[in-house]
Structure 1
Amino acid sequence: MTAVVVSVLLMMVLSMLRVNVVLSILIAAITAGVITGQSVLESTSMLISGMGGQAETALSIVLLGIFAVTIKYSGITAILVNKLLKFMKGKRGAILLTIAGISCFSQNLVPVHIAFIPILIPPLLHLFDSMKIDRRGVATALTFGLKAPYLVIPAGYGLMYHQIIATEMKTNGMNIAVSTIPLGMLLPGLGMVVGLLIAVFVTYRKEKDVTTTEGLEQSLASAEISAASENIPFNKQHVITLIAILLALVIQVVTHSLALGALAGIIVMFLGRVVPFLKGDEIIDDGMKMMGAIAFVMLIAAGYATILKETGSINEMVALTNGFIGDSKLFAAFVILMIGLVITMGIGSSFGTVPILAAVYVPLCLSIGFSPLATAALIGTASALGDAGSPASDSTIGPTMGLNADGKHNHIWDTCVPTFMHYNIPLFIFGMIAAIVL
């Protein structure tokens, strides 16, 4: 238990002191290993061996980044951005809610996850600055769309999340139909909506001037590019780009592989001559620069999770809570949610936290008298807590990647802290209500 709490707190403190997130996770992971009796060398070896757990995700992220760069190269994003500019200009609240809506589609309708962010957000940065939009509000809008849909909507990543919850509950002695889980997650999802509305219309409603002399020059340059792109006609290259996007989507849905879908899209973009072969190295380098850092953070986070699991730290932490919960449903819900928050803040994965919590807390929920629907809501919410706010989560890394394209957005203070406050607090409250009333 000590290893989990100390290492997670250390990672959070280092991150808040603006230590690079990669170094923060590495130091926290090795510290967790040392506390459990491993040597520094053994901890490092365990971390490296565990990095393979996110190899597929890392490959998918990099390929999606390259695909995003090819789409941007086609010029179709300039057309999209200008349409958005005409629709949203002067409406700060509408801009943030529209971004949240587009972000939601990335989890269900077009399951590209965070890969849409480097396509959509950087061209809009000059608009945010000229309208004095607080980028922390944009970060909360993006994180809402990356997180809320998989909690409630049974499609895309949401269906995957609900299937994991149902499978793990059945494995540990409680049956529930996958089709009923969205009902159990409705209240926690409503909590996230409340958090989003507070962020958009209360916390970040006021104007914020972040433009420096350098920022102004960048904004003017972006504005000139945007103005020039207004005259770009819809052409054959754009048709091929739409075909590539559609093909990537179909392959992702059929094969359940983001990597294969992205690779197919990239091949179509090159074969269709949307991107010249001679530009191949440049495009791939840009894609690697854009998403490579995120992929590496995900790999290290997987190694960190492996240390916490293989040393028994998480199981020890979960088991120790059983001794003092008693028969109180309210107290049991509080403890389960709190443990879920700590674990997910550390490993940055809601999907990876479900099996950890379900193994111990499903039997506990049975003994206390929680219904299957209440248990699903409790496990689903507890696993999701911390995904918003964790320095290692793609739900926070993705928004930072887009908003920091001009170097004016801090990962911890401008993304992690705002998303933690606006989503984890209401998720905790609404999760407890769901566990009691269902």
Structure 2
Amino acid sequence: MLYFTVYLAVFISLLTISSARGNFGYGQQYGNQVCDKNVHQRAKEMIRVEMQRSQPVNSGNPPYDSRYPGLTNSYQVNNYTNNRNYLSDQLNDHQCKLMRQAFDDLLINTPLCDPIGSYQFQASSDLIQQARNFLVQHCERNQGWRYAQCFKRREIVECENQYNYLKSRTVDQGRNYARHNNNQPISYELCQAFETFRNCVISQSRSCYTTDLDLLGTYFVDKAHNVAWSCLPSQITTISDSYSRRTDLSYPPNPGSGYYPQPPYGQYPNIPNPNNNPMMATVSPYQTQNQPFPIETIDRAGVGGALSGIHTGTVTVCIERVRPFENSCLDHLIMRQREARYGRSSNDVQRRICCALFRYRDCLSRVVLERCFDNSRVTVDILMGDRNREITQSCRDVTRDQCNTAKQLFVSFNLMVISLITISILNNIFR
């Protein structure tokens, strides 16, 4: 009976491994992850709406992509784009934030909802690449991940090198469904390599600025191309708060009503009010919310951010929510600044003080993100107060890399001292 149980366990294990390898880590269901069709559909419609709104329009109707019939009917708008000359080459921060939210959701849900090789998957793949190009052109000019200090860190570069090494060891099994040269045939080994890379980057980037974390979506697409939306993570909860910051939301049946909140009309001087414009009577629910920031979604709204005049009262609300948790960040700042007095030189003391300020700002950024779902710097700047000026004036010659290096050198020095003491003790014992 014991042998039979062992054989049965081995057989089930082999069957499970075989099934996993046959699915390559993607499909409509993976473990306890199930496709959320509502999120997937809204993300696609949101992306198409933003891309259509940004295009120059000569006729009375907005541009329409005939390759995706029936998917954007609820967002077809008659003649309202005639007044949209305010949309220039660059979008405002709120529009970019909405676009990133939809882009991240599309990346996460495409492997869950669209079977590889299907028309739906190819349509989603095309839309992801269009959205990536749109974000780079309209939201990331001189502000993309290539310019962000987070992705220049040695730890992130090591994650990339590890991914390139693992990718080079994968066997091409001939599954070449892709049309673009950058796209790769998907295999179980390649998905494993990408998941290792993704988890590595997410783990190492948690201390980065939230504005840098917003670029994770386009970063993964640029580094892994079609692999970024063809492979499932082992669990979606491992993705960073910025990359999946909407996984805890409840979605109303009305698309866009609270999920992608629109700023109040009249706050942006160039955004026409649909109530005063008969040409915009048929605008989608995304555009015609009577209450853009309802009570249940105020945490997810733009909390001031870099947006001029947008619902500025919520900045005060956010600050009040953060205050009870701010003391912990302040205590660590005071402790590190006291320890800085024991530096080896005046330059080392100044470096330690600046590193303490950097970590204090990072701590505030995380608290604001967790309590207010705000990824802008305005609320953090208010909480920082005069310390912002101290960073600008006194820490211009200190970089974050110096802080990380100093920590590693300190740990190495301690290990060396401990090793010498241990060797000395052992020598005395065995004499």
TM-score by length of 1: 0.31
| Structure with higher helix content | 1
TM-score by length of 2: 0.31
Larger Rg: 2
With CA pairs under 8 Å and 6+ residues apart, which has the higher RCO, 1 or 2? 1
